[in-house]
Structure 1
Amino acid sequence: MTETTVSRSATTPRWARKGTVVLLTVALALVVFGTTTQTWLNVTLDPSDVRVAPLKVAGSKAATAVTALALVSLAGALAASIAGRVARWIIAVMIVISAAGIVSAGATVLADPLSAAQSAIASATGIAEGNADVQTTVFPVIAMVAGVLLALSAVVLLLAGRHWKQNTRYKSAAAAAASGTGEGTNAEHEASEDLDEIDSWDSLSRGEDPT
């Protein structure tokens, strides 16, 4: 580890370390995505008939946008680990917008669960705009809480990004590689010259004129 890396690690607060911030944002995006695979709505098609099993509606069906927004946030969090300062601002704004969409979608489901379940009801019964008893689970709330924390993590990303300095070792490595390439080219040129001389002797031994 170079002195530049040691000094940078010493001056970077623990909360602002790149790995910590990126992993936190990734974890929150995965939590949101995970909730969409769980049951958001329990739908009883005929409340008067206890023999009818409730229809379980997953979050990916009740709020289709949440899945896509979670994946966008996940991709943004991963990209932030290698992004520059300007790109991090763009990524942070993208994550905040996605988080706002996640919270909005969850609130819509909680406010009107019957409307959110209509697609699943129509698929099960073949009747659009059908009536049913719809109960929400805890997963829309978990998605909304994770969405709020996701927006906060985007703010933390911007604040922490000020402590992330570009590592000069990559430039040094690139320069060394370029220098090595130049030396390698000279060596190959000298080798090709030697090889040409050998070929010339072989040609002479075969009675050919190499010139």
Structure 2
Amino acid sequence: MSTASSASSVTRPPRWARKSTLVLAITILALAVFGATTQTWIEVRLDPAGASNSDLHVQGNKAATAVTALAVVALAGGLAASIAGTIARWITAALIALSAAGIILAAVTVILDPLGAAQGSIAAATGVSGGQADASVTAFPVLAIIAGSLLAVFAVVLPLAGRHWTSRTKYDAAARGKTSSNEPVDEIDSWDSLSRGEDPT
């Protein structure tokens, strides 16, 4: 087979299936969830009938402690997907999907019961739990739900897109014995080539 015909037989993955696109999207979404947990999720007025300023601002990592850890898991999963083989990629996708489900569930719980989610912070601030207070949620739990939902979508897409990745890692390339010089690569594959001392161009 000639070089020209070999090059024409290899098609570049569609944009949605590119490794760099998916890894970047998962990373950004996981960081968005993580960043949201550092913001105020619940505004609490400790003395609803009082005129004094007795507001308490409860951050997401206090209102829904699991969300921060789940965001880190999703971030690690997205980065691991860039070097994972076929089986590992399915496992990674499952972990990202479970993390996304946990993020959504925790954020919905805060929205449905903000006062209950703020009780730990109220007790820490006042020394009294179960006291009278008004609580309202901000937009950040909603942001976490949106980002978590998109993470779940990308978790489903990830193993499907992986079938278009002709050279997933330097280890896969070594197992095949050689990689065609005409094989299309994305940005992450280029970094793999550079780490092996090869010129990806």
Specify if TM > 0.5.
yes
CA gap of 1:31–1:11, structure 2 versus 1, over 3 A, is: same
TM-score by length of 2: 0.79
| Secondary structure of 1:12's aligned partner | coil
Equivalent residue for 2:65? 64
Taking the aligned partners of 1:8 and 1:129, their CA distance within structure 2 comes to: 68
Offset, 1:155 = 1.0
**Is 1:33 aligned with 2:38?**
no
TM-score by length of 1: 0.75
CA deviations on 1:48-105 (whole Å, 9 max, x unpaired) are: 2222231000000000000000000000000000000000000001111110000000
CA gap of 1:18–1:8, structure 2 versus 1, over 3 A, is: farther
Equivalent residue for 2:43? 42
Taking the aligned partners of 2:165 and 2:69, their CA distance within structure 1 comes to: 29
| Secondary structure of 1:11's aligned partner | coil
Aligned partner of 1:157: which letter? L
**Is 1:123 aligned with 2:133?**
no
Equivalent residue for 1:51? 52
Taking the aligned partners of 2:51 and 2:144, their CA distance within structure 1 comes to: 30
Offset, 1:10 = 3.5
Taking the aligned partners of 1:138 and 1:9, their CA distance within structure 2 comes to: 46
Taking the aligned partners of 1:50 and 1:8, their CA distance within structure 2 comes to: 74
| Secondary structure of 1:131's aligned partner | coil
Taking the aligned partners of 2:28 and 2:128, their CA distance within structure 1 comes to: 39
| Secondary structure of 1:162's aligned partner | helix
What are the equivalent positions in structure 2 for 1:1-211 lying under 5 Å apart?
10-166=11-167, 170=174, 171-172=177-178
Offset, 1:7 = 6.1
Taking the aligned partners of 1:8 and 1:24, their CA distance within structure 2 comes to: 29
What's the Cα RMSD here?
2.2
Identity, in percent, stands at 58
Taking the aligned partners of 1:94 and 1:131, their CA distance within structure 2 comes to: 40
Offset, 1:166 = 2.8
CA gap of 1:169–1:109, structure 2 versus 1, over 3 A, is: closer
Taking the aligned partners of 1:40 and 1:63, their CA distance within structure 2 comes to: 9
| Secondary structure of 2:164's aligned partner | coil
Taking the aligned partners of 2:37 and 2:92, their CA distance within structure 1 comes to: 23
Unaligned runs of 5+ in 1: 174-211
Taking the aligned partners of 1:31 and 1:9, their CA distance within structure 2 comes to: 36
CA gap of 1:8–1:159, structure 2 versus 1, over 3 A, is: farther
Structure of higher CA gyration radius: 1
The structure with more helix, counted as a fraction of residues: 1
Contact in 1 for aligned 2:119/2:130 (Cα 8 Å): yes
